[in-house]
Chains A and B, each alone.
Chain A
Amino acid sequence: KQEVTQIPAALSVPEGENLVLNCSFTDSAIYNLQWFRQDPGKGLTSLLLIQSSQREQTSGRLNASLDKSSGRSTLYIAASQPGDSATYLCAGSGSRSNDYKLSFGAGTTVTVRA
């Protein structure tokens, strides 16, 4: 079973600073790793998905890397804006299973100060 940990639980930065969010997982034979954004009272919005054969994915100001050997993924958000304030969740699935089951971390709550 895939165990996912996110540290820190909360992060506050001034506008314009780059954000670095960390995610660690226990099963290095990971199939997919997905980053989500969750706004208060809302569902999850998929940001980036990295397949096991990939090392990173980029979308606009977002870049996510995957290092299976160390069991880590990092989400970078460049030039943060107040609108980036949200909770960011990572989720991974282990490849030994035939099923795509996401195991989530508890998330990192980000506040970008104007």
Chain B
Amino acid sequence: EAGVAQSPRYKIIEKRQSVAFWCNPISGHATLYWYQQILGQGPKLLIQFQNNGVVDDSQLPKDRFSAERLKGVDSTLKIQPAKLEDSAVYLCASSLTGQWDGRVTEAFFGQGTRLTVV
């Protein structure tokens, strides 16, 4: 079974530039998550999709971050304009379902994209 795919693996940009990250979840997984992990901290949820609808984006800085999940499969996370404090690893994860229906909803993560803003 193929895992969660993310690209690029690394990105270095100057502040005020824009950047986009791509994620392809495990086939059949309805729920997709984007997390931000700052060095030395645990991952923080930015946005959660159920199919192509947004379930939770309460911690997404909407003035500069945007995300979409076209056709309920692949997803793109964009930052525009980037700030120095956006330097972090951006992790994409997927699970079979995010709904509490009794099924086990184990989350699987991609390798992440390491963003450095200079």
Contacts and interface: CB of A to CB of B under 8 A. Distances in A.
A46 interface: yes
Interface in A91-114: 91, 95, 97-107
A108 to B, nearest CB: 11
A44 interface: yes
B98 A100 contact: yes
Interface stretch (B42-50, B66-74, B76-84): B42-50
A34 B112 contact: no
Contacts of A49: 104, 106
B55 interface: yes
A101 B56 contact: yes
A95 B55 CA distance: 16
Contacts, number: 72
Contacts of B110: 43
Nearest to B101: A98
B97 interface: yes
Given A32-B104, A43-B91, A99 B48 contact: yes
B60 to A, nearest CB: 13
16 contacts: A4-B42, A32-B104, A32-B105, A41-B114, A43-B6, A46-B107, A49-B104, A51-B104, A89-B42, A91-B42, A98-B100, A99-B98, A99-B99, A100-B107, A102-B45, A106-B40
Interface of B: 4, 6, 31, 33, 40-45, 48, 50, 55-56, 91, 93, 95, 97-100, 104-112, 114
Interface of A: 4, 31-32, 34, 36, 41-46, 49, 51, 89, 91, 95, 97-107
